[in-house]
Amino acid sequence: MENAPKRKPESARRANRIIRARTLVLMLVLGIFSFAALFANLYKWQIVHHDRLQSMAISQQTRKTTVSASRGTIYDRNGDILAISATAEKIFLSPMEIEKYIEEDKNAKSRAFIAEGLGGILGVDAARIEEMMDKTWSEYEVIKLKAEQEEADAVRAFLNEHGIRGVYISTNAKRYYPYGTLAAHIVGFVGTDDYGLYGLEALYNEELEGTSGMVVTAKDGSGASLLYQYEQYFEAHGGDSLELTIDTTMQYYLEKALEELEAKYGTGAGATGIIMDVNNGAVRAMASLPTYDLNDYGTIHDERLAAELSELEDEEYLEKLGALQLRQWRSKAVNDTYEPGSTFKILTLAMALEEGEVSTSSHFNCVGHAYVQGWNDPINCSNRTGHGYQTLTEAAGNSCNPAFMELGLRVGTQRFYQYLKDFGLMEKTGIDMIGETTGIFANEKDFNSQIVSLATYSFGQTFNVTPLALIAAQAACVNGGYLYTPYLVERVLDDEGNVVKQHTPTPIRQVISEKTSATVREILEYVVSDGTGRNGQVAGYRIGGKTGTAEKTGQKDESGSNKVVVSFVCFAPADDPEIIMLLTLDTPSRTTGTYVSGGNMVAPVASAAMAEILPYLGYEAEYDAGDVLFTNANVPNVIGQSRESAALRMSASGFAFTTVGDGPTVTDQTPVGGSVVPSAATIILYLGEEKPDTPCIVPNVLGMTAEQANAALTNAGLIMGVSGMTTSSARSVIAISQSDVEGTQLPAGSVVTVQFSDTSVSD
């Protein structure tokens, strides 16, 4: 027993147990802490950062290519396309993938070769493409955003021919404007990213742009595409389309009228015009000068403005270019204000009639000026010698300032100011366009305390309105008294043609009564038939209207004369109007030889436009028995008939005729049978003589009376057509334009249309 092991003391065993227990506890605690830390990290990466890490993984493993949605189409009211998106191609490259391609492929083309090839096809600087390829950390560099189909096809052929990798082509969309400058200020344009920047393109961008799609494809760690591994396509949804109130034909006639105004009398200060449906506020046409081409909106379209850039360089050039771009993009009809002058008298007339302060039996005496309480100087009439004793209708026809000052004074400051509000002039009209501004008026307290303000407001001076707000108020004066909100978008259609939104015209308020409105129409028809608006007559149609020549308060031209705005507003048919048109020209030239006034400058142009618009709308001309100069008729065919028989036939058709030769039978005639010519035309009958085949030379008839012009054209073997002034026999009525310029060669018997105007009109 001496060799048996000795047992450890109890105290040692207890110490070991404690150590083991503590070790186990420590291990357990450490295990728990380690597990907790591991769990926390797992939670952090798997739960908290899951979406971000998943996104990073997907980004590393896939390539996303956006598929642009087709932007909605913009139509006019007849379905003509004003703006449309067509297929285009986006050309982009991956510098990272090109780098790998060059390193791994012994037959790879150099960066310079690729850049030169792509640059030559796409019209992009090759050096810029090389700079893109130098960004070897990048996977996406756009070479050309909207390449034409032919360019994209050429790029594909280039890449396939040389086995080049890392250059990609994706389908995109490009905005086209088929009519170029037509309705530019209404339609507006989009930027390079297809986001609307101006006009309806901007205002309705959310509806038009649609929802983009996407193509997701797999790629390897170096960024190269893995063909056939993975691809998913998310379809794009096209945007909604807009159907406008605009009529492209009427828009064309309006823009042609503005261009004629500018060409004849303009100084580059600008012009604007609006045609509106009087019965619902729908804008049928609206335009401004200067204008621009929607397909090239960054280029200055107006030659006079472009000339201002010719001598500039660098920053000065860029600064001026930006200012001119903003100017040509600006709609003077909506974004600018002006002093309306005498066209505003329509509203003053309506106010006074509605309040019972005047009637058609009222009389006024004009001595050429009038004095107003609180103002020492006389306020002049356009006729400084005075119009004398006149009825209300005659006063409107004469555009008599003293008479209209009296109308305003009878209405009184408080009622007059309230009518300004009721006609909507104190606020924006609410038209669906960006940037509409409001008029500039005295505040109510100051206006009520100054009779002179009431006097000048009565004939349209010392305050400003937008052309749009004014024509909306004028429409209310002739449509029965109802003020409508002008609008441009009739319907919004989804990409399947279903109606998403339909405009429902609702009058804001009735400002004047039906009876008052009828009286206003009657008086304004007199203004055109016998007053300052007589150059706005259109043969065969009843037209109402008002001229305007407004001084721009405090603005002088180089000669020291007051700058003016000339204008004319007209509506038709006068007894039951459908459309109303306002034309204005800012700061006309005083060197044209024409008396500066709305009646002389603007009314004849408006007449020519209305002469095209009304037949287009389906209105047939109705002539009086004496209007032989303006009616047309078919020329009878009398070839082969005897002289006597031909004479009877011509007389029965209402034509005068002359003969050449002395044979018994008509062997030829000018114009030929079946031609449509003015009834006043003289037909030439050839009696055995050979009809000459040499062309006729158009003479210059500008400045001639109707009789003189008719004789000159007849002697030249041509026939005169007549437009413009129709009711005056005054010697001041002369030819102001002709359809074919002097020296033009035309076949014998051709019609040359001559427009006549009364140059004595002073407002």
Partners of 651 in beta bridges: none
Bigger pLDDT: 66 or 550? 550
What pLDDT score was predicted for residue 423? 98
Residue 189 reports pLDDT greater than 90: yes
pLDDT reported for residue 232: 59
Question: Given pLDDT bands bounded at 50, 70 and 90, which one contains residue 441?
Answer: very high
| Arithmetic mean of pLDDT, 618-623 | 88
Q: Residue 88 forms beta bridges with which residues?
A: 172
Paired residues of 283 in beta bridges:
276
**Nearest partner of 348 among 506, 508, 463, 484, judged by Cα:** 463
pLDDT reading at 1 higher than 60? no
Contact 346, 520 (CB under 8 A): yes
Q: What is the mean pLDDT of the chain?
A: 88
- Does 180 have pLDDT greater than 80? yes
Lowest mean pLDDT across 24-38, 128-142, 603-617, 644-658: 24-38
pLDDT in tens, 213-252: 665 565 555 555 554 455 555 566 778 999 999 999 999 9
Q: How far apart, in whole angstroms, are the C-alpha atoms of residue 307 and residue 323?
A: 14
**Which stretches of 123-175 are DSSP H helices?**
126-133, 149-162
653 three-state secondary structure? helix
Q: Which residues contact 701 (CB under 8 A, 6 or more apart)?
A: 708, 709, 712, 713, 720, 735, 738, 752, 754
| Average pLDDT rounded to a whole number, residues 393-415 | 96
The position carrying tokens 């006068």 is: 574
pLDDT score recorded for residue 3: 56
pLDDT score for 57: 59
Q: Is the pLDDT of residue 192 over 90?
A: no
Give me Rg for the CA atoms of the chain: 39
Nearest Cα to Cα of residue 257 among 294, 292, 285, 295: 285
The HSE-up count of residue 413 (CA atoms within 13 Å, CB side) is 13
Query: Mean pLDDT throughout 383-400?
Result: 94
Given a cut of 80, whether residue 612 has pLDDT beyond it is: yes
Strand, helix or coil at 65? Answer: strand
Structure-token pair, residue 473: 């108020």
In order of 49, 51, 60, 214, 251, the CA distances from 56 in angstroms are 10, 9, 6, 18, 54
In which band, very low, low, confident or very high, does the pLDDT at 152 lie, cut at 50, 70 and 90? Answer: confident
**How many residues can be counted in the chain?**
763
Q: What is the pLDDT of residues 45-97, one digit of tens each?
A: 677 766 676 666 555 555 555 656 688 999 999 999 999 987 777 888 888 88
Question: Residues 526-555: what's their mean pLDDT?
Answer: 93
The span from the CA of 713 to the CA of 341, in Å, is: 39
Q: 592: phi > 0 → left, psi -120 to 50 → alpha, else beta; which?
A: alpha
CATH of domain 64-244: 3.90.1310.10
- The pLDDT assigned to 97 comes to 84
Locus of tokens 């030829």 = 668
Please state the pTM of the whole predicted model: 0.81
The percent of residues above 90 in pLDDT, for the chain, comes to 57
Q: Mention every residue, 6+ apart, whose C-beta is less than 8 A from residue 648.
A: none
Q: Which residues are catalytically annotated?
A: 342
pLDDT bracket for residue 104 (50, 70, 90): confident
Question: How confident is residue 512, by pLDDT bands cut at 50, 70 and 90?
Answer: very high
763 vs 76: which has the higher pLDDT: 76
C-alpha to C-alpha distance for 189 and 217, rounded to whole angstroms: 33
> Which structure tokens are listed for 463?
């305050």
In terms of pLDDT, which residue wins out, 356 or 46?
356
Using the structure block, give the residue that is written with the tokens 């209405």. Answer: 411
**In the chain, where are the structural domains located?**
64-244, 294-325, 341-616, 632-758
Task: State percent of the chain over pLDDT 70.
Answer: 90
d(CA 617, CA 212) in angstroms, rounded, equals 41
Q: Is the pLDDT of residue 399 over 60?
A: yes
Residues 329, 335: Cα–Cα separation, whole Å = 10
Arch. (CATH architecture) of 632-758? 2-Layer Sandwich (3.30)
Residue 300 confidence class, pLDDT cut points 50, 70, 90: very high
Q: In this structure, which topology does domain 341-616 adopt according to CATH? A: Beta-lactamase (3.40.710)
